[in-house]
Amino acid sequence: YTIKKAEFMLCAAWSSQWPDESLPEVVMAGRSNVGKSSFINTVTNVQGLAKVSSTPGKTRTLNFFNINDEIRLVDVPGYGYAKVPKKMLEQFSEMIDNYLRNRKNLKAMILIVDYRHKPKDDDVTMYDYAKHFGIPVIVVATKEDKLKRNELVKNEKLIKETLDFDPSDHFVRFSSLKKKGVREVWDCILELCEE
Ligand code: GTP
Ligand code: MG
């Protein structure tokens, strides 16, 4: 898939601000600081498209990105970041719940997990949530560059077991640092968006 155009569209705090439902959308979820923004920059090949930060919890709205006027990627606030005030946390989950529940053009979820670690409870919750709504999931195991060779298979197995991974979903080994897995990710996205 060739990226001819990748641009930030808008950030939305309320559903009234969401763009129209004319194009397929893929939503990205993952723990705070797992590498969601880096993922966007890597798969679009546009550095700085999404803000990468060393302080977790920076993304606070639904951020819509337009890819080739064909597909939209939607970045959501990372979960599992303790320092976010409780009130704000409730607003986040309400916003994401509303989006997952009601968005007609939502084709898939990209669940980004850290390849090095066993998924946390909130990763499992997010995966279950997508399954509950019948949303196909692409599990992207990122920071692959930080693993030793002999950990690749072992950790994939651990991640799948912990999530109770549905074999009809996708699993992609990914690294923003090494730009690994980009092609596989687009193959999955296109397949799910064409359905
Ligand atoms: P929030 O928006 O705060 O929830 O974070 P995020 O999930 O968008 O993470 P972000 O992309 O900002 O990356 C967090 C940190 O992880 C940064 O320091 C990145 O440089 C680093 N990082 C992201 N992807 C990779 C990767 O594939 N490999 C390595 N080694 N580091 C990565
Ligand atoms: Mg981010």
Q: Which of 27, 31, 33 to mutate to test the pocket of ligand 1 (most atoms within 8 A of CB)?
A: 33
Q: Is 56 in the pocket of ligand 1 (CB under 6 A)?
A: yes
The model's pLDDT over 24-47, given as tens digits with 9 standing for 90+, comes to 999 999 998 899 889 999 999 999
Q: Is 41 in the pocket of ligand 1 (CB under 6 A)?
A: no
Which ligand is nearest the CA of 179, by number?
A: 1
The model's pLDDT over 87-118, given as tens digits with 9 standing for 90+, comes to 766 777 788 889 999 999 999 999 999 999 99
Domain boundaries, the chain: 6-194
Say which CATH architecture domain 6-194 belongs to: 3-Layer(aba) Sandwich (3.40)
DSSP result, 25-68:
EEEEEEBTTSSHHHHHHHHHT-TTSS---SSS----SEEEEEET
CA atoms of 78 and 187, how far apart (whole Å):
25
Q: What is the ipTM of this complex?
A: 0.98
Q: Is 42 in the pocket of ligand 1 (CB under 6 A)?
A: no
**Per-residue 3-state assignment (H helix, E strand, C coil) for 108-171:** EEEEEEECCCCCCHHHHHHHHHHHHCCCCEEEEEECHHHCCCCHHHHHHHHHHHHHCCCCCCEE
Q: Which two tokens stand for residue 75?
A: 């970045």
For residue 77, give the 3-state DSSP assignment: coil
CA distances from 8 to 44, 75, 86, 152 (A): 11, 10, 28, 33
Q: How many CB atoms lie within 10 A of CB 46?
A: 16
Query: Residues of the chain with pLDDT > 70: what percent?
Result: 91
The half-sphere exposure of 163 on its side-chain side, counting CA atoms within 13 A, is 32
